[in-house]
Amino acid sequence: MKFFSKQKKIYPIAPHHGGVGGVRLFRDWATILIAFAILILMAFLVDGYLLIQINRGDFFTTGSVSESGSETLNQKTLLDVAGFFEARQKEYDTFRSVVAPQIDPSI
pLDDT at 14: 57
pLDDT at 26: 87
SS3 (DSSP) at 1: coil
Phi, psi dihedral angles at 35 (to 5 degrees) = -65, -40
- 46, amino acid identity: V
pLDDT at 101: 79
Q: In the structure, how many helices (H) and strands (E) does the chain have? A: 2, 0
CB 45 within 8 A of CB 37: no
pTM of the predicted protein model: 0.39
pLDDT at 47: 95
Mean pLDDT by 10 residues, the chain (107 residues): 63 56 82 97 95 84 64 82 95 89 78
pLDDT at 61: 74
Distance from C-alpha of 6 to C-alpha of 9, rounded to nearest angstrom = 10
> Which residues are CB-neighbours of 53 under 8 A, at least 6 positions away?
59
Largest CA distance in the chain: 101
pLDDT at 5: 63
What does DSSP assign to residue 57? T
pLDDT at 41: 98
pLDDT at 23: 76
